[in-house]
Amino acid sequence: MDLLQHTSITITEYRNILKAIKDRFEIDFNEYTLVFLKRRIESFMYAYRYASAESLINHIARDDDFIHTFLREILVESTEMFRDPSFWRYLRDFVIPRLVSENKSVRIVLPHCVSGDELYSLCILLAENNWTHFTEIFAATADPHFENNIRKGVFAIHKYEVSAENYLRYHGKFDFSKYCQIRNDVAIRDNSLVQQVNFIKYNGQFSFLPENIHLIIYRNQLIYFTQTLHDRVLKTFYEKLSRNGCLAIGVREQLGIISQQLYRVVNESERIYVKN
């Protein structure tokens, strides 16, 4: 999708589109950041040739499969593997060793996976340090399409180079090509890495998450939410975390005034927190 190409809609039309999606598919986008989601829907309309909000709304009412295409285009990928290498180093050197030493089995949850880049990074980190058998991973996806691609090891080829560079900066034990190979211009990841992952369905609420979580990795997702939803999500995570459970958010995200009281800082610059 080209974000510079778009079919303009008014704010009222934007609200009507969200209402149509909510009525038909029970997915509520009302608490998403307007500037982000409106632009994204406008680019979606251009790419899929919807000339007006009305034609899009009509289509939403008629097409059962619409939501799959919509989610695939609208939800934002985590962009690359080992994004912010220093974050992954800190996880490997400090956070996970503590969790492994304190618990029989460490429960790690990624509440929203799209491309699986964060999930694969985590699984590589665990495998390289022989922690796989001491951990239990839950990964939630909003659409079966994402889960299938992650299970198959599908990887966007344009991310290969930057991910390999990130992995170098992460100081992993092997060469990145051990985990991801390019054949006939297609990049594919070693999907045995995610074999033990429990996939669950993400439905926009987080009440479905398991209890007693030791680590939640939720980086660069709060940026798409209004402050209201942002605070609600962080409150739910708080309830789902075990005592001394940790939360990781994106490096330019912040807890906000309300949620600050629920967590204390483990690492300020890598945005890692522990439950109060």
Partner 1 sequence: MSKTEVNVYKAIIIGGSAGSFQVVTSILQALPADFPLPLLLCLHRLKHVRSGFVEALSLKSKIPVIEPYDKDVIKPGKVYLAPANYHMYIELGNRFALSTEEAVNHSRPSIDLSFIAAAHAFQHKLVGIILSGANKDGAYGLKTIAELGGLTIVQDPSQCEIPTMTETAISLFPKHHVWSVEKITNFLINLK
CA proximity to 177, closest of 166, 190, 186: 190
Q: Which of 112, 230, 240, 275 binds partner 1 (CB under 8 A)?
A: 230
Query: Applying CB under 8 A, does 220 fall inside the site for partner 1?
Result: yes
Query: Applying CB under 8 A, does 112 fall inside the site for partner 1?
Result: no
From 12-20, 131-139, 163-171, 196-204, span contacting partner 1 (CB under 8 A)? 163-171
Q: Which of 47, 127, 162, 258 binds partner 1 (CB under 8 A)?
A: 162
Query: Applying CB under 8 A, does 84 fall inside the site for partner 1?
Result: yes
Choose between 24 and 39: whose C-beta lies nearer to partner 1.
Answer: 39
CA proximity to 267, closest of 84, 81, 118, 135: 84
Query: Applying CB under 8 A, does 30 fall inside the site for partner 1?
Result: no
Nearest-10 Cα torsion for 44, 45, 50, 55: 110
Query: Applying CB under 8 A, does 204 fall inside the site for partner 1?
Result: no
Q: How far is it, in rounded angstroms, from Cα 18 to Cα 27?
A: 9
Q: How far is it, in rounded angstroms, from Cα 91 to Cα 98?
A: 10
Residue type at 43?
A: S
Q: Which of 36, 48, 94, 208 binds partner 1 (CB under 8 A)?
A: 36
- Pairing between strand 263-267 and 213-217? unpaired
Kindly state the helix (H) or strand (E) to which residue 167 belongs, with its residue range: helix 160-170
Query: Applying CB under 8 A, does 61 fall inside the site for partner 1?
Result: no
Q: Which residues bind partner 1 (CB under 8 A)?
A: 1-4, 33-36, 39-40, 76-79, 83-86, 162, 165-166, 169, 220, 222-224, 227, 230, 250-254, 256
